[in-house]
Structures are given as C-alpha cells and as structure tokens.
C-alpha cells in the first residue's frame, strides 16, 4: 500500500495539489463509513466509481459526491457508449 500512497502523493504534487492522505483503521467501503471515520458529512466524501465501456472495454473513473449517485445515462452520453460496472 505504501507504494500506492507514494504514487498518489507524487502525482498530486506534480499537479500542484496539496493533499492529505489519511489511513483509516476501520472499513471505508461506503461513503457513510468514510464520513464516520473522517468526522465529516457524507456530502464531503468523494466516491470513486469505475465503469467499463460495453463496446470499447475502456475503463472510466467517475468522482462523485458521497451524497449523490452517478446518473448512468448522462455518464454514457459523456463517454459515447453504454457503460457497465467494472
């Protein structure tokens, strides 16, 4: 995991972003769990959702507020093809 954290930290720094990475002791699989661990609201959490283009097989990463759901029709229109969960 340390290698992944280092890569993310470096990528953020290269992009001029100042980020704080927090390691959680308990599960953060859901936005609700992550918010509880961070002591913030669900709306302040960013969910990372990965979908795959049905025709191309390309992977698409969507970053969504923890309190919202991805509109799959809008996402498909944006990518130009139907999507399925990866």
**Domain identity same for 34 and 61:** no
**Domain identity same for 12 and 25:** yes
Q: Label residue 1 by pLDDT band (50, 70, 90).
A: low
**Domain identity same for 59 and 36:** no
State the residue range of the domain holding 16.
Answer: 1-40
**Domain identity same for 73 and 52:** yes
**Domain identity same for 19 and 49:** no
Per-residue pLDDT reduced to its tens digit, 50-63: 999 999 999 999 99
Please indicate whether residue 22 or residue 62 has the higher confidence score (pLDDT). Answer: 62
Distance CA 62, CA 60 (A): 6
């Amino acid at each position: 995991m340390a290698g992944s954290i280092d890569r993310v930290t470096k990528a953020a720094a290269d992009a001029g972003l100042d980020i704080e990475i927090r390691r959680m002791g308990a599960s953060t699989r859901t936005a609700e769990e992550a918010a509880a661990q961070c002591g913030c609201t669900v709306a302040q959490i960013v969910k990372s959702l990965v979908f795959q283009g049905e025709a191309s097989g390309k992977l698409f990463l969507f970053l969504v507020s923890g309190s919202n759901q991805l509109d799959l029709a809008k996402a498909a229109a944006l990518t130009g093809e139907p999507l399925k969960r990866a």
